[in-house]
Amino acid sequence: MNLRPCIHVLLLIAAPFAAAQESARQWLTDMNAAFSGLSYDGVFSFYSGSDLASLRIVHMVVDGEQRERLVHLNGAPREIVRSGEDVACIMLPGDELLELEANIPAGPFARAFIRRYDQISAHYGFDFFGEDRVAGRSAVRLAVSPLDEDRFGYRLWLDKETRLLLRSELIDADGQRLEIFQFNTLRLGDEVTAQALEPASYQGEIRSYLHLAAKPAVPVQTPDVEWHTSWVPAGFVMATADVRRRPDNLASINTMMYSDGLAAFSVFIEDMPKAGAASMVSRSGATVAVTHLTPGPENREHLITVVGELPTDTAQRIAQSIEFRSQL
Amino acid sequence: MSEKLKEAVSAAVDDEADEFELRRVLDEVHKDAGLKLAWERYHLVGAVLREERLTPDRGLRERVWAELEFSAETDKSVVLPEPAEPVADAPASRLNRLTGLAVAASVALAVVLVGWNFTSTPDSAPAVVAVQDSSPGFVEAEVSAGNATITQAMVTDQDQTRLTALMLAHAQNRGMSQPGLAAFTKMVTYQRR
């Protein structure tokens, strides 16, 4: 039997497929570059499970330093401004986010190591699926589909001219949309003024700061203690690891973040609180949080919390795989 | 034991009783050994009907008492009798101490996983208790599946706050590690449910 015609047919199918994969990776790389390199000022909608929010984002590179401003347009007035590696969150007294802040582990953030888009094709497939119009601009649609059940998929609308992300949908295995991000209006390039980067001044405003530490990401390790993740989905690598403290009681929390280049999850390890449930699952849109109890140093119970944009089963499997290993 | 009381116990076991009725039934169950047996038998029958393999949880009733006492601290309009026996609190059963019937004030959209820390085999689906958004009082709990010992967990406001805070900490992790502030969107749009 002559296989040559079959091979020809296969080549005819495979060649454009490979070209699409290559081209898609390039579009994703360009999308990232557009996010950090372009000047833009726009209003976008964000839908996550049950809530629809409106925000304004302004971005510019000023004297080689990235400057950004994110403004919450509905409800409580909140702004986040960034100059290089310093991020400030501006709120007003009485904001419920302020109450929650006492519970958010604080500390310097280690610089993350995020995989490049040319390394993610082992875990996602890419398909262009036509063109569309978003915020009055022409967009190319790109589907990013997971090749296993341990991550979600994405539909991206990329600006034809600048490759900036104009709309994205995060979708689960059933095709359900868990999150939607979409620009409604957008100004680009010279239309953006540095003045738009200045936060509004609010009477009695409260600022809190986040700082990106200069130190590189290292595994969480002290001479005789190590927490170890014995299973993570294929392609996920550790992006950061550091030790934070809870602002209210100064309890230390080991924090690690893993990423496959698109999706990410964080692991938090702390002494089991005196009161509380041991096993919980809470989901908000695409983000799931699961907890698991495991023995740690001196056989004390530790509470493991995995938070990420992941299917629930995957997050649970990760949480249950975390072990303490004494180095003694 | 009156038929009416039996019906009330049955409704309580099936989660069909309102909070007031539940308190009354628990009061009666405490006083009456026959009702205690009925309480446990109805739980077992319910589990068989739901095709669950259930280990009757004799501590359940006591824990419900403990939880009701807890919620009564903020609800002085209901006078509760003293429980007849203390709630078991062996140091070795820390996990069990943390579990109880899902009584929680304003637990928002938490899905509580139970069983998988206890006796579930690797292949068995964990029993899931979906705790719905609710005002203080009993939270509707629905046990969905599982080969595991059925134990219903309690999620407090503190637990939910802790989880929400860590969700935002994850958003910060993402935000600090990628270009564009878009990852901070989840933080900026935070709303207490």
Contact call for B187 and A97, based on CB within 8 A? yes
Contact call for A277 and B187, based on CB within 8 A? no
Confidence band, pLDDT 50/70/90 cuts, at residue B104:
very low
Find the distance separating the first CA and the last CA of chain B, reported in whole Å.
44
Which residue among B109, B174, B178 sits closest to A282, beta carbon to beta carbon? B109
What would the two tokens of residue A239 be? Answer: 């992006």
Q: Are B131 and B79 in contact (CB under 8 A)?
A: no
pLDDT of residue B187: 78
Out of A67-81, B57-71, B91-105, B143-157, pick the least confident.
Answer: B91-105
SS3 content of chain A, % helix, strand, coil (to 5): 20, 50, 35
Give the minimum alpha-carbon distance from B65 to chain A in angstroms, rounded to a whole number.
18
Q: Tens digits of per-residue pLDDT, B44-87?
A: 555 444 444 333 343 444 444 444 444 433 333 333 333 333 33
CA distances from B179 to A35, A82, A176, A316, B88 (A): 6, 11, 27, 29, 53
pLDDT of residue A18: 72
Q: Which residue in the block uniquely carries the two structure tokens 């005789």?
A: A224
Instruction: Please give the Cα distance from A181 to A48 (Å, whole number).
Output: 9
Q: Tens digits of per-residue pLDDT, B12-22?
A: 666 666 666 76
Going by the DSSP 8-state scheme, the letter that residue A1 receives in this structure is: -
Which residue among A53, A287, A307 sits closest to B189, beta carbon to beta carbon? A53
Burial group, residue A54, by CB count within 10 angstroms (0-12, 13-18, 19+): middle
What residues of chain B lie within 8 A of the CB of A281, using their CB?
110-113, 128
The whole-model pTM stands at: 0.68
Domains, chain A: 4-211 (2.50.20.10), 222-327 (3.30.200.100)
Flag whether residue A316 sits within 8 Å of chain B, measured between CB atoms: yes
Give the minimum alpha-carbon distance from A35 to chain B in angstroms, rounded to a whole number.
6
Q: What percentage of chain B exceeds 70 in pLDDT?
A: 20
Sign of CA dihedral A296, A297, A303, A305: negative
Q: Along the 328 residues of chain A, how does pLDDT read in single tens digits?
A: 566 666 666 656 666 667 777 788 899 889 988 988 999 999 999 998 778 999 999 999 999 998 999 999 999 899 999 998 888 999 999 898 888 888 888 877 766 666 566 678 889 999 999 999 999 999 999 999 999 999 999 999 999 999 999 999 999 999 999 999 999 999 999 999 999 999 998 899 999 888 877 655 454 454 445 788 899 999 998 888 888 888 877 888 989 999 998 899 999 999 887 777 778 898 888 999 999 999 888 888 899 999 999 999 999 999 999 998 876 5
Contact call for B180 and A111, based on CB within 8 A? no
Q: Are A135 and A50 in contact (CB under 8 A)?
A: no
Longest Cα pair distance anywhere in chain A, in angstroms?
A: 83
DSSP string covering A201-265, please?
P-TT-EEEEEEB-SSPP---EETTEEEEES---TT-EEEEEEEEE-TTT--EEEEEEEESSS-EE
Contact call for B110 and A282, based on CB within 8 A? yes
Instruction: Please give the Cα distance from B22 to A58 (Å, whole number).
Output: 56
CA atoms within 13 A on the CB side of B149: 13
- Over 50: is that where the pLDDT of B112 sits? no
Which residue among B110, B180, B187 sits closest to A36, beta carbon to beta carbon? B180
pLDDT of residue B122: 29
Contact call for A257 and B174, based on CB within 8 A? yes
Instruction: Please give the Cα distance from A11 to A76 (Å, whole number).
Output: 57
What residues of chain A lie within 8 A of the CB of B114, using their CB?
279
Phi, psi of B168 (to 5 degrees): -70, -35
CA atoms within 13 A on the CB side of A294: 19
Q: What is the ipTM of this complex?
A: 0.87
Q: Are A113 and A217 in contact (CB under 8 A)?
A: yes
Grouping H, G, I as helix, E, B as strand and the rest as coil, residue A53 is strand
**Of B176 and A65, which is predicted with more confidence?**
A65
Flag whether residue A20 sits within 8 Å of chain B, measured between CB atoms: no
Instruction: Please give the Cα distance from A323 to B75 (Å, whole number).
Output: 42
Going by the DSSP 8-state scheme, the letter that residue A93 receives in this structure is: T
**Of A126 and B36, which is predicted with more confidence?**
A126
- Over 70: is that where the pLDDT of B150 sits? no
Instruction: Please give the Cα distance from A145 to A116 (Å, whole number).
Output: 17
pLDDT of residue B100: 25
Grouping H, G, I as helix, E, B as strand and the rest as coil, residue A18 is helix
What would the two tokens of residue A151 be? Answer: 């991550």
Burial group, residue B125, by CB count within 10 angstroms (0-12, 13-18, 19+): middle
Strand partners, A156: A142, A168
Q: What is the 3-state secondary structure (H, E, C) of chain B?
A: CCHHHHHHHHHHHCCCCCHHHHHHHHHHHHHCHHHHHHHHHHHHHHHHHCCCCCCCCCCHHHHHHHHHHHHHCCCCCCCCCCCCCCCCCCHHHHHHHHECCCECCCCCCEEEEECCCCCCCCCCCCEEEECCCCCCCECCCCECCCCCCCCCECCCHHHHHHHHHHHHHHHHHHHHHCCCHHHHHHHHCCCCC
pLDDT of residue A304: 95
Find the distance separating the first CA and the last CA of chain A, reported in whole Å.
65
Contact call for B116 and A279, based on CB within 8 A? yes
CA atoms within 13 A on the CB side of B119: 10
Phi, psi of A66 (to 5 degrees): -75, 130
Q: Are A73 and B185 in contact (CB under 8 A)?
A: no
